[in-house]
Structure 1
């Protein structure tokens, strides 16, 4: 798969592009896509809109942030006080970004379903500095068997990724690890070609040390990928189990020789927020474009703290938010009222 990068002007109409400080260009750990950032000094919420998606398909979204002293406010390599802002996917909080070092790469990654033929990624100012972004990446997961735990009501939030044996070279295969036709995960051969083995040939133990708030109930989706490097002659077989906190989390596993095998158990991040009615969104996006309302960003009704200026919505526990009122008298608009307003079927005040 070849990655193609584009300038972001066609995906967002707010913010400004700024180069990072020259001294970071000479840092061999920095890559070209981090040399500029888009900064958002104005507005509470600024959103990218990614079009031409397949509704209901899964997408991996990765956001990257390298401060690079783009604003001249860093002290040495320190960003102090820390820069904090929130990142949203659609109408749901993805994570809070905490920037403390100018040269450090910060990343956020999520697997989510496209709720329609487009997806919005928003940066929200929470009063702790100006939000910015270096790079936004989107990968279509075209195999419907992969990451099925990401669905209409839940997404998979990235926590960590380990390529075991890649540094210690515990076990290395030069023969190449195969995948079955239609393999859902397609783990790169370079990753599958190294492994860690149990020193006593019985138990391989990992303490992941999540470091999360113990008062918040969290469930993890952990994906494990195996391959057997050692050919067993005759009727020999290798069988093992995956256990978490001493309890079995899988059936018996017996990987085939030089063939990728995948096992997972579960982490889910439930999404409580509900997006605005799609017909209302289409109608009001047309109004936004007609009147060039750049202050309108993301979903018009959700989350409720980011409801659009001049827009009122109704909310119910069993349905999607609806646009019921528009007050545009303070925006200096003039001209005839377009027919687009008629498509707001729940509108009762204009």
Structure 2
């Protein structure tokens, strides 16, 4: 497994194996790799997989929990073999039996990426198949894959007046709590010491504020009066 400090974005890179694949590798460091904006580390892109049967397609699939799930996928490529002048590696990519991208021609020591420009949805399984183009001499490869699942945060955000007021209170009193993000939403991650109202129609409102264990001193801050839904 690789992540930070190998990956500056702290993505988690895990190995994945198949009996239909064989691994290719090369010695490659970050200084040698011509990176793109996605900054996949060299330690990830210096390995690749290719089909055991060089004439067969390279395939992998993504299984969804529900056909309503939405995914974004990024494929990363780097040629790990230094091909001779008369050698080529070129392939097309199909998704669930339909042409999706191609031809892909990996370049030696240069990171390349292709990705879904819109979310993938509507299927329980997404089957990707990489097939050699005509007259190419080497089979397909892939070095790394990123998959992101869209999370639904359909719950409304806290009313902005309440957000502004409680943020001022936090700063004025130097509240030493993990108060980050939205104060009330999602309800499971409501700020410590708060209670909020949820009626399903209107934005959540802060209804109680407990700072009794915060060791506060001094005058009552005017912003408390801005929390108009506080219940006493």
Looking at structure 2, the residues matched to 159 and 190 of structure 1 have their Cα atoms a distance apart, in angstroms, of: 13
Whole-angstrom distance in 2 between the partners of 1:249 and 1:275: 38
Aligned match of 1:276: 158
Q: For 1:321 and 1:249, how far apart are their aligned partners in 2?
A: 43
Q: Relative to 1, partners in 2 of residues 1:287 and 1:190: Cα closer, same or farther, differing over 3 Å?
A: closer
Q: Within 5 Å, which residues of 2 pair with 1:57-136? A: none
2:83 aligned residue: 231
What displacement does 1:339 show?
0.8
Distance in 2 between the 1:246 and 1:261 partners? 23
Structure-2 separation of matches of 1:343 and 1:313: 19
State which of 199, 204, 217 in structure 1 corresponds to 2:58: 204
Give the secondary structure class of the aligned counterpart of 2:151: strand
Unpaired runs of 5+ residues, structure 1, are 4-59, 61-138, 142-157
Q: For the residues of structure 2 that align with 1:178 and 1:293, how far apart are their CA atoms? A: 44
Q: 1:150-206: per-residue Cα shift (whole Å, max 9, x none)? A: xxxxxxxx99844679xx8732223666224xx122222222122222233241122
Q: Contact between 1:178 and 1:260, CA under 8 Å: does it hold in 2?
A: yes
> What is the root-mean-square deviation in Å for CA atoms of aligned residues?
4.6
What is the rounded CA distance, in whole Å, between the counterparts of 2:88 and 2:4 in structure 1? Answer: 38
Structure number having the greater strand percentage: 1
Q: 1:188 aligned to 41, 44, 58, which one?
A: 41
Deviations 1:260-317 (A, max 9, x none): 2112234433321233245522422444674969798974332346666554467646
Number of aligned residue pairs: 185
Unaligned runs of 5+ residues in structure 2 are: 120-148
Q: Confirm or deny: 8 A CA contact 1:163 1:191 kept in the other structure.
A: no
Q: What does residue range 1-350 of structure 1 map to in structure 2 within 5 Å?
A: 161-162=14-15, 170-174=23-27, 178-180=33-35, 183-202=36-55, 203-208=57-62, 210=63, 213-214=65-66, 217-228=68-79, 229-233=81-85, 237-265=88-116, 266=119, 267-287=149-169, 290=173, 299-304=182-187, 309=194, 311-312=196-197, 316=201, 320-323=203-206, 325-326=207-208, 337-344=220-227, 347=228
Bigger radius of gyration, 1 or 2? 2
SS in 2 for 1:341: helix
CA contact (8 A) 2:159 2:205 kept: yes
Q: What is the distance in 2 between the residues matched to 1:195 and 1:295?
A: 42
- TM-fit CA distance, 1:222: 2.4
Q: Higher relative contact order by CA 8 Å / sep ≥ 6: 1 or 2? A: 2
